[in-house]
Amino acid sequence: MNQERNVLKRAHSVIENRVRWATNVIDSALYRLMIENLQLQVLPIGLHGISDNKTLSHVVDMSDWLRMARLGKERDYAKQILKTISSMDNCKSIWNVGAAQGLYTLLAHSTSPHAQVYAFEPDLDCSNRLERNVQLNNFDNIHICRFALGDEDSQLLLNTDGCSGKAPSFHKHPKHKNVAMVEVKKGDALVNYGEYKSPDLMIIDVEGFEGPVLSGLEETMKSHPPRHIFLEMHPDDWMPEKYTSEKIVTDLIGFGYEKSHVFIRDSQELFHFSRSER
């Protein structure tokens, strides 16, 4: 009986190793196809850094990347972001607010490797994967900030099931099963205290919390406004409800921004706001 158990254990181990090997081969093949698709169809400037041989070659989880490769409007939005970054002179600081696993953080760094990239992500699972992605690619100049941005320093409950579930959000969604208390900081305070360089470009995707993020950067918008703001608006998830698409657009126009591009994805609007001078 013991001999049979040992044989079964060895067989199970062999099968497990072969499945793991096959999975790695399939993942590698899918990743190569994804890179080719992004380089040829999505990102005409490629995934390679402009200098210092900075090359994006590894990710822990391909879900975000495959989604971008599959969805036309998100492809167009990504192309516009990277086209803008590559065209900027003296881009020193990029803020990716709601960085998740680092889709735009990694692409931004790969496009402008000398810029300081600040990735704000309060969800622990997502920020851990982001950190791993940065390590896998041996990227520097990326600062992982494990807190949210808002209109005041506080703590809030984040509805989250990690990277594998519904996108983390301060707005409760029926699909959310868990919550976590996270730190929220005001962006102006980070800049005023000299902890962070004011952004030359911002990429914001915060699942309905766009209003508080921008409200918390009002002083920076007046004194050192970013030249470009890429903003995903989630009108179904506004938190708090006093912020609307119309108010946010009106406020940004009041700060001297123009709507350069608008992409529509389901009920969400993906905006590119720009200023002619800093």
pLDDT of residue 38: 44
pLDDT tens for residues 7-26? 566 766 655 555 455 544 44
Length of the chain: 278
In a domain, 209, yes or no: yes
In this structure, what CATH number is given to the domain that contains residue 203? 3.40.50.150
In a domain, 162, yes or no: yes
In a domain, 256, yes or no: yes
Token representation of residue 242 = 């006093």
In a domain, 26, yes or no: no
In a domain, 65, yes or no: yes
Q: Whole domain around residue 189: which residue ranges?
A: 43-274
pLDDT of residue 67: 60
pLDDT tens for residues 92-145? 999 999 999 888 999 899 889 899 999 999 999 999 999 988 988 888 899 999
In a domain, 16, yes or no: no
Question: What is the C-alpha end-to-end distance of the chain, expressed in Å?
Answer: 77
* Residue 260 CA from chain centroid, whole number: 21
Whether residue 45 is predicted with pLDDT greater than 60 in this model: the reply is no
Domain count, the chain: 1
Output the 3-class SS for 165-229.
Answer: CCCCECCCCCCCCCEEEEEEEEHHHHHHCCCCCCCCEEEECCCCCHHHHHHCCHHHHHHCCCCEE
Query: Is the whole model's pTM more than 0.95, yes or no?
Result: no
pLDDT of residue 79: 83
pLDDT tens for residues 219-248? 999 999 999 999 998 877 766 667 888 889
In a domain, 13, yes or no: no
- Cα dihedral value 84, 89, 90, 93, nearest 10: -10
The chain-wide mean pLDDT, for the chain, equals 80
In a domain, 19, yes or no: no
Q: Which runs of E-coded beta strand occur in 38-175?
A: 93-97, 116-120, 142-145, 148-150, 154-159
